[in-house]
Amino acid sequence: MTVTATEICVLTAALLACLIVGSLHLKVNLWLYAMSTLFIALATAAAALEHSETGLFVIAILIALLKSIAIPKFFSWAIDKLHVYRDLGAIIAPPLAMHAAILLFSLSFILTKEIPSPAGPGNGWFGAAGGISLVFTGLLLMLTRRLAISQIFGFLVIENGIYVFALTQTKGMPLMVEMGILLDVLVGVMVSGLLLFKIQKSFEHIDVGQLTQLKEP
Amino acid sequence: MTALLHWLTFLLSIILLPVLTLGTIRKTKARLQNRIGPPICQPIYDLVKLSRKGETISSTMCGVFRLSSLLAFADILVLAWLTPWLCFKPWAPHSNIFMVVYLFAFARMFTLLGSLDSGSAFGAFSASREATLSLLVEPAVLLALVSLGIFFGSSDLRVIFSHQTNQTFTDSAIWIAAGLAIFFSSLVELSRMPVDDPTTHLELTMIHEAMILEASGRNLALIEFAHALKMSIFFGLASQCFLRAFPQFNTFNVYSQGGLNIVGILGLALFVGLLESLIVKLQWRKVPEFIAYILSLSLIASLAAIGAGVIK
């Protein structure tokens, strides 16, 4: 079985995403997210070389600039503004959650074996497994965290997973679609950042576990 | 003649490599702190000096204290003989994974007994800390070695570390993940920087140093040398894992393999020196988190090994 450069990059990104679950420090999480996204950009560039499509190169550069530099920078600024540096964690301890994420990573291999691949059997198996594993990791991240900002990280990881799945299964989407999605993600991050500040202002914390409690006016 | 040469190089590397590894770490740290630092061979002079000195023994001790350091040293020597940490060993005995891991634990047990026998308060609490650490890191080491065992279909380390495989992506990935796990768990086993500061002067924060606080003279020399030898055994295993991740390694002849192996051990020592100058010691409560990361590396290795077996 041969493994392409795209798939190696995707699997590395998925493993880096698994490590996000293991730490409660928001800045460490952001750094790992940026590294994971950088590997996804590399995977896109490798896919562009494999299918010789220039559109994918543009997308790779855009992902590297927007998702692995601009968004982490924005959140880093937001963390400094909010003065919240650590998540509290929920349900299970972070090290155990990380081990669960790695188990889900291997589970996603078994799951993707059942999916009929459009590019023929045995093709793009690792890439699809990486994408599904990223979705699992994002869900686990959202489940095991309490702060609103960590929920956004989880959402971003899930978004990465869906993008990777599309990239490895369809040989890349059209340039316009990808640019639209990237714009959507950017706008979504900005809006959620604004919401964070709003929640912080009216509740004096960003703990989503306590948002159900009513507050005296 | 070649057999004699092999024996000589093996004996020389058992004596010299631990010292050089320790010396390299100290030299790197000194250079990074803008000091000239002691020469790389300084640990040899230290050991010679220690073995000439007389020792002081507390009146509360029984014979266990003297015996324990001797037994731990003997145990580590047996391990240096058993484990394939150098690829130019003159005669490779069978070495079961589980036996190797628990012989390491056996050596640690003697050190713990010695520190408990000394009767000092520091000895007791550092023994308790060391026992906790070994308990936490044991699954990581075991899983890393077992993942290699699963992949190569044998629980004999000699077979694993002399395997000629058709190198694929999964081969390299498993070797690298297992090597990283062995290397980082060796940092915990040897109580080095992220877990314990080997140059600390405050007894309350010590782990390994507080255990050997009461040892002096020849006893201390034995303990220090056994510790250094254990370090080079671990680094040797890890460096071989990293080297075997490259498919070209198997095509070299035995001399260049051995040379690369030694360079790998010293390179890991250099890396440890770099690491110890750049990072700070972890809070005691944060150590399980660090070990969880090591365990996840071993988990990745073992899952990859199982997955590779399923695909085949």
Neighbours of A48 (CB within 10 A): 19
**Segments forming the whole domain that contains residue B261:** 2-311
| Cα–Cα distance measured from residue B243 to residue A59, given in angstroms and rounded to the nearest whole number | 36
pLDDT digits (tens, 9 = 90+) for B159-191: 888 876 666 777 888 899 999 999 999 999 988
The three-class DSSP label of residue B307 is helix
Are B293 and A19 a contacting pair at CB < 8 A?
Answer: yes
Where are chain A's structural domains? 5-209
By the 10 Å C-beta count (0-12 exposed, 13-18 middle, 19+ buried), A118 is classed as exposed
Q: How many CA atoms lie within 13 A of B252 on its CB side?
A: 17
Report yes or no: B99 and B91 within 8 Å, Cβ to Cβ: no
b (16+ CB within 10 A) / e for A25-42: ebeebbbbbbbbbbbbbb
At B60, list the tokens: 């509360």
Answer left, alpha or beta for residue A116, where phi above 0 means left and psi between -120 and 50 means alpha.
Answer: beta
* Rounded mean pLDDT, B207-213: 85
H-helix segments, chain B: 2-32, 42-52, 64-82, 97-117, 121-152, 157-160, 169-189, 208-211, 217-244, 254-278, 287-311
Query: Model ipTM?
Result: 0.72
In B, which residues are within 8 Å of A95 by CB distance?
288-289, 292-293, 295-296
Spatial distance between the Cα atoms of B15 and A159, rounded to a whole number of angstroms? 55
Residue type, B38: P
Q: Does residue B111 register a pLDDT over 50? A: yes
Contacts of B295 in chain A (CB under 8 A): 95, 99
DSSP symbol at A70: I
Q: How many domains does chain B have?
A: 1
pLDDT digits 0-9 by tens, B230-260: 999 999 999 999 998 888 887 888 888 888 9
Q: Dihedral through CA B147, CA B153, CA B156, CA B159, nearest 10?
A: -110
Q: Tokens 């924005």 sit at which residue?
A: A74
pLDDT of A113: 79
Residue where the block lists tokens 């299964």: A169
Say if A94 is an interface residue toward chain B (CB within 8 Å).
yes
Q: How far is CA B99 from CA B72, B103, B104, B105, in A?
A: 15, 6, 9, 10
Burial class (CB in 10 A: 0-12, 13-18, 19+), A52: exposed
Integer Cα distance of B140 and B33 in angstroms: 33
pLDDT band at B26 (very low <50, low <70, confident <90, very high): very high
Query: What does the pLDDT read at residue A40?
Result: 93
pLDDT at B234: 94
Instruction: Choose the closest CB to A102 out of B168, B169, B296.
Output: B296
Count CB atoms within 10 A of the CB of residue B7. Answer: 13
Nearest CA in chain B to A99: B296
Coil, helix or strand for B96?
A: strand
Is B296 in contact with A22 (Cβ distance < 8 A)? yes
**pLDDT in 10s for each residue of chain A, 217 residues:** 567 888 889 988 998 999 899 888 899 999 999 999 999 999 999 988 888 888 888 889 999 999 999 999 999 998 898 888 888 877 888 888 999 999 999 888 888 877 776 654 445 778 888 999 999 999 999 999 888 888 899 999 999 999 998 888 877 678 888 888 888 888 998 888 888 888 888 877 778 777 776 665 5
